[in-house]
Amino acid sequence: MAMLLPWLLPACALGIWALLSLGGLAPSYLLPSPVEVLHTARDYIFAPPGSAPYAGRFVNDLLASLGRVGGGFALAVALGLPLGLLSGRLRFMRLFLDTFVNGVRAVPGIAWLPLALVWFGIGFKTTVFLVSLAAFFPIYLGAAAGAMQVNPLYLRAGAMMGLGRGRLIFTVLVPAAMPHVVTGLRLGLGISFAYLVLGELTGVPDGLGAAIMDARMLGRVDIIIMGILLIAVIGRLCDLAMVGGLKMFKSVRRLG
């Protein structure tokens, strides 16, 4: 039962989709059936490139998109994690950063798009900029919340057992903050995919977002739906991979 539970909701959604499309309640040019989308996906993923529009583009699009997500997310981690930990622990860092960070956070990511296009042009740099900007906030806030709620006795205990500041950070502060840090990282990765698509809507030649946008011009709703499903699947797999990778830390295994 517990094994099936995660699949219950996706199965229901699939059932309703099939009912609407195959039952003739929605015309197929608006809502193609699951079978049609499956065929589309088969061609998109496995057919030899050039045999049909979109055929065999998947690997290329995937790699392009993953590169953009990976680059933007890595940048967001590199900035958000240390700054968040600092602002969670040090009052003057919090005072220094909070107004600015929360002000910038209030601006919707899409508002940065025109500026990013002017600054970085169409393509990799703009997408990475948007992804890292969007992913920064949950990562920063997670790290700050985690660092702030660390039991001060843990830090005292570490210092009392002879740890210097540097080792305290890595052996006490980060592990103790880990549950919030992981939540921030997962939210950040999730939002990275959202902004990936935004960045790829701007006319780049490859990527999952670009495939969706092209398909709209061509009236290929099957491609759009397939793209959405692929992003959902890939996003979930990336989340699983990251959480799995983080399990190498005891604090993630044991406090999760």
Partner 1 sequence: MSTRAPRKANGACLQVRGLGKSFGVNGRRMSALEDISFEVRSGEVLGILGPSGCGKTTLLNIIAGFLPHDQGQVLMHGQTVTRPGPERGVVFQEDALFPWLTVAENVGFGLRNGDGRAGRRIKVERMLDLVGLEGFGSYLPSAISGGMKQRVALARVLVLQPAALLMDEPFAALDAQTRGDMHSLLISLQRQLQQTVVFVTHDPEEAVKLADRVLVMATAPGRLRQEHRVDLERPRQVDSAAFLEIKRAILDGLGGS
Residues forming the site for partner 1 (CB under 8 A): 151, 153-154, 156-163, 171-172, 175-176, 178, 250-251, 254-255
Kindly tell me which of 172 and 210 has the beta carbon lying closer to partner 1. 172
In whole angstroms, how far apart are CA 119 and each of 15, 125, 160? Answer: 45, 9, 51
Please report where in the chains the tokens 């220094």 appear, as a residue.
96
Q: Which pair of structure tokens corresponds to residue 163? A: 């740890």
Minimum distance, C-beta of residue 172 to partner 1, in the bound complex (Å): 7
Kindly tell me which of 96 and 154 has the beta carbon lying closer to partner 1. 154
Minimum distance, C-beta of residue 4 to partner 1, in the bound complex (Å): 30
Kindly tell me which of 157 and 237 has the beta carbon lying closer to partner 1. 157
> What is the rounded distance in angstroms from the CA atom of residue 230 to the CA atom of residue 222?
12
H helical segments located in 149-207: 152-160, 165-168, 174-200
Minimum distance, C-beta of residue 159 to partner 1, in the bound complex (Å): 4
Minimum distance, C-beta of residue 254 to partner 1, in the bound complex (Å): 5
Q: Which residues contact 160 (CB under 8 A, 6 or more apart)?
A: none
Minimum distance, C-beta of residue 87 to partner 1, in the bound complex (Å): 23
> What is the rounded distance in angstroms from the CA atom of residue 179 to the CA atom of residue 86?
17
> What is the rounded distance in angstroms from the CA atom of residue 35 to the CA atom of residue 12?
16
Name which of 58, 37, 69, 30 is nearest 197 in CA terms.
Answer: 69
Kindly tell me which of 183 and 251 has the beta carbon lying closer to partner 1. 251
Name which of 69, 73, 97, 95 is nearest 83 in CA terms.
Answer: 97
Kindly tell me which of 236 and 250 has the beta carbon lying closer to partner 1. 250
Helix or strand (DSSP H, E) at 54: none
> What is the rounded distance in angstroms from the CA atom of residue 256 to the CA atom of residue 251?
8
Minimum distance, C-beta of residue 207 to partner 1, in the bound complex (Å): 39
Kindly tell me which of 79 and 163 has the beta carbon lying closer to partner 1. 163
Kindly tell me which of 42 and 254 has the beta carbon lying closer to partner 1. 254
Minimum distance, C-beta of residue 164 to partner 1, in the bound complex (Å): 10
